[in-house]
Amino acid sequence: MRGRLFLVPAPLDHGATQPVPLEQVLPRATVETAARLVHWVCENARSARAVLKRIDALVPLAAPLQAQHIVELPRAAHKKGDHAGAAGAGYDATALLTPALQGQDMGLLSEAGMPAVADPGSALVRAAHAAGIEVVPLVGPVSLLLALASSGLNGQNFAFVGYLPQDAAARETRIRELEGLALRSGQTQLFIETPYRNRALLQALLRSLKAETQLSVSAGLTLPTARTWSLRVAQWRQQPDAGPNERTPAVFAIGR
């Protein structure tokens, strides 16, 4: 008998001054399932323990926090990415699945949102499938889909392209490429940035995009201060104070 690998969504308030009550963002069934797991693979052990502590306040953990078995993804997969073309793409995560291979259920947890979606973890999921371990995604917040739904852009045809280049010239070239694709095909292009670069990215977008292109920015999703701005670039240029600050995670989207 194999155990199962549960993909456990984390709240999107990682790093926020005031955490959102857990019951507002995670269904009871997700919390109860997470509470009975004692074997974890995570992006960051410290933040994983913080989430488990919040879960314990709602549903007692099957084992005390100190007795939870928490293993971090290795740096190659965690920091460099574990998808095709990234530094950790060839990483074999099978060894991390030992508890599941011995018949015990496990959880995969990232710092915010759904693991393996704009976050590390896909190497572990691939290894689980290869080993015949059932993968069970649990219900919870996924920032990309929340941002897409609130943007008013095409939700029938979209792509997430990760981070844009930091080099100014390369970033401008990439922005124009994505805009061309979005305007030709109607495919919404979603991307993210480290919060302290939010304003710099927004300014680069306003310099590079055409006036008629629709630009949407969702910041602080699920937080009390959550907001989505979705405007034509010409309108953005008339509202210099609109958009995210440099402390709150944001999702950017362009389309028509």
pLDDT tens digits, one per residue of 179-231: 999 999 999 999 999 999 999 999 999 999 999 999 999 999 999 999 999 99
pLDDT at 92: 83
Is the pLDDT confidence value at 18 over 90? no
Cα distances from 240 to residues 155, 190, 230, 243, in angstroms, run: 27, 22, 14, 8
Q: Is the pLDDT of residue 251 over 70?
A: yes
> Does the pLDDT at position 86 exceed 70?
no
Question: What is 177-228 written as a DSSP string?
Answer: HHHHHHHHH--EEEEE--GGGHHHHHHHHHHHS-TT-EEEEEESTTSTT-EE
Structural domains in the chain plus CATH codes: 4-137 (3.40.1010.10), 143-255 (3.30.950.10)
Looking at residue 156, its pLDDT comes to 97
Coil vs helix vs strand at 16: coil
pLDDT for the residue numbered 17? 80
Give the tens place of pLDDT for each residue, 155-167. 999 999 999 999 9
Instruction: Enter the pTM of the model.
Output: 0.91
Pairing type for strands 106-109 and 188-192 reads unpaired
